[in-house]
Structure 1
Amino acid sequence: MPTQHSRFLFEQATAQDSDEILHILEEASFKGHIALIYTRRPDAYWSFKQEGDEVDIIVARDTQYGKIAGFGACAIRNLFVNGIPTRVGYLFGLRVARTYLKKFPILHRGYAYLRTLHQTKHVACYITTILEENLDVQAMLEKHRVFMPTYQPFGKYEIFALRTGRPLKSRSALLASCSFRQATMADLPLLVAFLHEQGRQMQFFPVITETALLSGVFPDLGVKDFWVMQDAHGEFLAVGALWDQRSYKQYLLQGYGGYFRCLYPFTKLLPLFGFPALPAPGSILAFCTLSFWAVKDQNPEIFSLFLEYLAYVTGSVPFFLIGVHESHPLGFILQKRPHISYRSKMYLVFWEEQQEFINTLRQEDRRYLECGLL
């Protein structure tokens, strides 16, 4: 009979594991005022693999019963760190099958496997996020354990849901001197150059290339999904992509709690006050994500008008999401707009040999986390 130590095999997932991974995803839900199931239909394995340049899906396989007890993923991406393109890992998707919860202490073996994997990846550090309400997981990760990397809090990250289909009401003087339009292929070189120029001023802004946008590296995202705001001389003032990812990952709404339960009967009235209507329980949320966005010189007037334009042109879905780190100088603009939001805690994750790199991080630089890649 195998011992508890030998019973669980840690290894890379295969495409044949997709259905079982999907089942584990959908038996877990995010609790709170809005209860959601985060899922990846129709092919969970393929969906996870789209989240980075390299993606490792690590499964804990119960060899006694031939089942997956749990899994987690690491996506390696090329991000700007201290203004330089750098390989960074994003840890995400950690799930344990319900029948194995709190029954088998195998966390240390999972991190041992991750440590072995880390030694072949040559990444500078890792980042991750944990929902603000998930205090138990935060406490577990922040407690120092010899078999785990360090989880160092790195500020809070907030995702805002903003209503679409709003009339353009801005009285900004910029209206007369700028234009707003969908990007074309002719914009591609300037678009990428602008994202590099502005992005390198942020910690962890994705390094976007022309090849990535042309070759389908980001599923269902192309040049046509970007919107640009220009001044009278054709200079870019702001850019961002409205990314609809529902073909390969979705949020299934289970229900409401707290004050949202009280608000739901009046959901049709919420748009009158600038808020998005609350979707019906049981529905898959229809939204797009404002991704790879940048604003020249972090100008709040430009950003505010850019959001106005986006809300005006985005009528196919009832709301769009945008995420912002608390260090971002434009976060206050989002706070001023009618919104529904939820917060996460961001962490730097690193092994002892990565401590020297962590010490070099410019703390004064603003932080960016791509909402479309969470």
Structure 2
Amino acid sequence: MRPGETTLRVRPARPDDDAAIRRLLRERALDGAIRLSLTREPSFFASLDRESLRHDTLLVEEADTGALVGMGTRQVQPARLEGAAVRLGYLSQVRLAPGRRLPRRAMVEAWRLFAESRQAREAPFDLTSITRDNLAARRLLERGLPGQPPYRPLADYTVRTLPTSRRPPSSTGIEIREASEAQWAELQGLRRRRLDAAALALPGPTAPLALRLVALRRGRLLAGLGLLDASPWRQFVVQGYRGPLRWSRPLANLAAPWIGTPRLPRAGQALTSASVVSLAHQPDEEPAAVALLRHAAFHAARLGLDLLLVGGLARDGLAPWLDRALPARRYRTRLYVVAWTPAADAWAEALREAARHDGLQVELSAL
């Protein structure tokens, strides 16, 4: 330890840490041109219970004062790996208190404790995601540190923010309606076939849905989706802007109605949003999926929501259709395989190859 450096300790979070964790989440934003805080009000631990089979959160604090320096979370969710049911960890919510840096030994200790928290039924690797423009973090982790599990780039993932609309979409000859139980079961069968065929499938959250929609043509199911409104337990707050957006936001907002992009909210504004989940369509029915998303934006406005979050792999076949047809802003991240065991490196290479051929199905519940 360097002279004058504060002694830090890494420990598992406890229920009585809830308020301090929520305060840190409010204070620290995700790096990027639009700086967003992911908050978990009114309870951090209860929110993770709703999204995970199980979860572990580690805190880094000053040994003498107990002052919170940083945190990170590992959530475990159901997944399928080459068709077999597994439990897959997802590393997220890495935050540092303002003005603090994390010494290497604290990072190594956190990785060691996360590795020890893994259970026998879990995959030999985890996933994590880092924003594409956070080059410093990506280079550091890809280069690797002594005691760090290897971070292997897997695929690019994009979250599109689609503004809701109180104006009904124009007719396209496709019938959009709330899904009946039979129609939803048919959609899940269609989606399950894609999940079963994928080298890696992470279906995402299964919390109760605010809305389930299907697209039909002469009674035939073309596409469907669900809306997950997580705002009662998880929120996004705009903390500010970086780069050209710091001065161009007013101009961008003036142009937004004409070019069909979402308005950029003021700093400090909370965003009411729903995540699109279970999105699936029949082969060659991408236009039906686009029409369905337009109607979902209309229905979401009636629920009092500002934005829809539409996540997907950058190489997904639906991605170019969404980019051409929908007025969305895109938040680009890179997915990584965190290789806890030597066998995980082989999986990383196999999954990277599968990603080139649409062999991954990943639905993330957060940016």
Same structural fold, with TM-score higher than 0.5 when normalized by the shorter chain: yes
Q: Counterpart in 2 of 1:43? A: 43
User: Does the CA-based 8 Å contact 1:253-1:283 persist in structure 2?
Assistant: yes
Distance 1:4 1:48 in 2: 37
Percent identity over the alignment is: 22
Shift of the alpha carbon at 1:328?
0.5
Q: Counterpart in 1 of 2:281? A: 295
User: Does the CA-based 8 Å contact 2:58-2:73 persist in structure 1?
Assistant: yes
Q: How does 1:69-218 map to 2 (within 5 A)?
A: 69-98=69-98, 100-102=100-102, 105-118=105-118, 120=120, 122-165=122-165, 166-169=167-170, 171=172, 175=173, 178-185=174-181, 187-207=183-203, 218=207
Shift of the alpha carbon at 1:43?
1.4
Q: Counterpart in 1 of 2:271? A: 285
Query: Normalized against structure 2, the TM-score is what?
Result: 0.85
User: Does the CA-based 8 Å contact 1:225-1:243 persist in structure 2?
Assistant: yes
Q: Counterpart in 1 of 2:345? A: 355
Q: Which amino acid aligns with 1:294?
A: A
Change (3 A) 1:97 1:238: same
Shift of the alpha carbon at 1:7?
5.1
Q: Deviations over 1:275-298 (max 9, x none)?
A: 222223321012222122112226
Distance 1:192 1:229 in 2: 14
Q: Which amino acid aligns with 1:35?
A: R
1:323 and 2:337 are equivalent in the alignment:
no
Shift of the alpha carbon at 1:59?
2.0
Q: Counterpart in 1 of 2:328? A: 339
Q: Counterpart in 2 of 1:253? A: 238
Q: Which amino acid aligns with 2:307?
A: F
Q: Please, which runs of 5 or more residues in structure 2 have no aligned partner?
A: none
Q: Deviations over 1:23-81 (max 9, x none)?
A: 22222123443222221122123223333211111223433212333221111111233
User: Does the CA-based 8 Å contact 1:298-1:329 persist in structure 2?
Assistant: no
Q: Deviations over 1:214-272 (max 9, x none)?
A: xxxx2xx33x5221223424x43212111221111111112334444424256365234
What SS does structure 1 have at the residue aligned with 2:42?
coil
Change (3 A) 1:97 1:49: farther
User: Does the CA-based 8 Å contact 1:163-1:276 persist in structure 2?
Assistant: yes
Distance 1:120 1:66 in 2: 33
Change (3 A) 1:230 1:18: same
Change (3 A) 1:83 1:301: farther
Distance 1:289 1:127 in 2: 20
Q: Deviations over 1:145-179 (max 9, x none)?
A: 341111111121111112222442354xxx2xx43
Query: Normalized against structure 1, the TM-score is what?
Result: 0.84
Which has the higher mean CA deviation after the structures are superposed, 76-85 or 136-145?
A: 76-85
User: Does the CA-based 8 Å contact 1:243-1:372 persist in structure 2?
Assistant: no
Q: Which amino acid aligns with 1:368?
A: Q
Q: Counterpart in 1 of 2:300? A: 314
Q: Please, which runs of 5 or more residues in structure 1 have no aligned partner?
A: none
Q: Counterpart in 1 of 2:52? A: 52
Distance 1:163 1:100 in 2: 36
Change (3 A) 1:61 1:31: closer
Change (3 A) 1:207 1:367: closer
Q: Counterpart in 2 of 1:226? A: 212
User: Does the CA-based 8 Å contact 1:87-1:124 persist in structure 2?
Assistant: no
What SS does structure 2 have at the residue aligned with 1:342?
strand
User: Does the CA-based 8 Å contact 1:15-1:46 persist in structure 2?
Assistant: no
Distance 2:4 2:44 in 1: 28
Aligned CA RMSD, in angstroms, stands at 2.9
Which has the higher mean CA deviation after the structures are superposed, 17-26 or 143-152?
A: 143-152
| Number of matched pairs | 356
In the alignment, which of 351, 369, 374 is matched to residue 362 of structure 2? 369
Change (3 A) 1:18 1:248: same
Q: Deviations over 1:298-353 (max 9, x none)?
A: 63222222223223333232331111211201100121132211211111111224
